[in-house]
Each structure stands twice: as C-alpha cells, then as structure tokens.
C-alpha cells in the first residue's frame, strides 16, 4: 500500500498564567494515498495495529469526488475537510480525525483552492489551539500559482 509512512508526534502544553497547564499528545499521519477507495482496508489494518496512536489523517491524492468522499468510511475516523476535484481525475486531499477528537472545518480559504495548483482542506483542533492544513499540488500544476496562494494562506493564518 505505502512505501513510506510519515507520522508527526506533537506534544502541546495548553494553558495560560491563570490556568493549570495540561500536556496533550497528537499524532498526525500524512500520506499520499493514491486512491483511498482501493486502500481503506489496508489503512484500517495499519491504524488498528502499528499506527493505533494516530489522531489525524492527512491524505493526498484520495481520487474521490464530493459524493464519494463522504461515503468512504475509515473505521474510527470521520472526514472533517476535503478538497475534491470536479473537472479532472485523481488528486484531491482530505483530513480525517479520530472519533472523539473535537474538530471543525475551516472553510475561509475555499475560494483560493484550485484544481491541480492548490488543493487545500484545513481544520481547527480547538483543544490544541492548532490548525492543520493538508496541501496538494499536482506535478502538472503551476509552481508560481502554488507559491502565491501559499503565501496568502500563511499571511492570513
């Protein structure tokens, strides 16, 4: 299924001077999945065994459309935000969050998303005071457009 798995462990200390601080651990899996529909079973096996501590899945090239992405279930995870292509095949990116995690989709940047050039879902995890972004640019996309849009997102966040 995959030739390389990329996970990132984050330990955050949440609190202020007036509040007790609490550490939270968050594990994010980033994967170019190349057709989610054909790899759900393999992904679920990994997530129930050696990757059982993963809290957030960032999947690129899911190859789903807006209708099928919401119907593609990954056990113990829910889709929170996704970019799906409308006029070309393949591509797309999505963020899934483990059941029980409080999260929300941030739709404030949907107008700058563009097929092949800048495919970007993003979510907020309020307990961590964290925003997670999963950006995909096709090899056929224009690097200049990608960089300009990325700079805009960084400035606004």
pLDDT in tens, the chain (157 residues): 445 566 667 666 655 556 666 777 899 999 999 999 999 999 999 999 999 999 999 999 999 988 888 888 999 999 999 999 998 889 999 999 999 998 999 988 889 999 999 999 999 999 888 999 999 999 999 999 999 999 999 999 8
Contact 70, 91 (CB under 8 A): no
Q: From CA 26, how far away is CA 70, in angstroms rounded?
A: 24
Residue 1 domain flag? no
Give pLDDT, residue 28.
Answer: 94
121 in any annotated domain: yes
pLDDT, position 25: 85
Distances (CA, A) of 117 to 80, 112, 113, 149: 22, 10, 8, 9
Q: Starting from the edge strand earliest in sequence, which strands make up the sheet with 56-60, in order?
A: 6-14, 22-32, 56-60, 93-98, 77-83
Do 4 and 33 touch, CB atoms closer than 8 A? no
Q: Are 95 and 132 in contact (CB under 8 A)?
A: yes
Which residues form the domain of 92? 6-156
Element (H, E) at 11: strand 6-14
Residue 61 inside a domain? The answer is yes
Q: What is the CATH number of the domain that holds 40?
A: 3.60.10.10
pLDDT of residue 7: 67
- Give domain status of residue 56, yes or no: yes
The total number of structural domains that make up the chain = 1
In a domain, 41, yes or no: yes
Q: How far is 131 from 26, CA to CA, in rounded Å?
A: 12
């Amino acid at each position: 299924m995959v030739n390389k798995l990329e996970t990132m462990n984050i330990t955050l200390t949440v609190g202020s001077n007036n509040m007790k601080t609490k550490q939270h651990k968050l594990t994010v899996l980033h994967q170019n999945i190349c057709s989610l529909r054909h790899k759900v079973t393999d992904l679920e096996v990994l997530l129930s065994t050696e990757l059982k501590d993963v809290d957030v899945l960032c999947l690129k090239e899911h190859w789903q459309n807006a209708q099928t992405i919401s119907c593609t279930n990954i056990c113990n995870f829910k889709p929170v935000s996704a970019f799906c292509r409308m006029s070309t095949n393949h591509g797309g990116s999505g963020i899934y969050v483990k059941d029980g995690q409080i999260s929300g989709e941030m739709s404030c940047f949907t107008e700058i998303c563009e097929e092949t050039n800048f495919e970007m879902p993003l979510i907020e995890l309020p307990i961590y005071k964290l925003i997670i972004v999963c950006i995909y640019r096709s090899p056929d996309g224009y690097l200049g457009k990608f960089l300009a849009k990325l700079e805009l997102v960084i400035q606004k966040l």
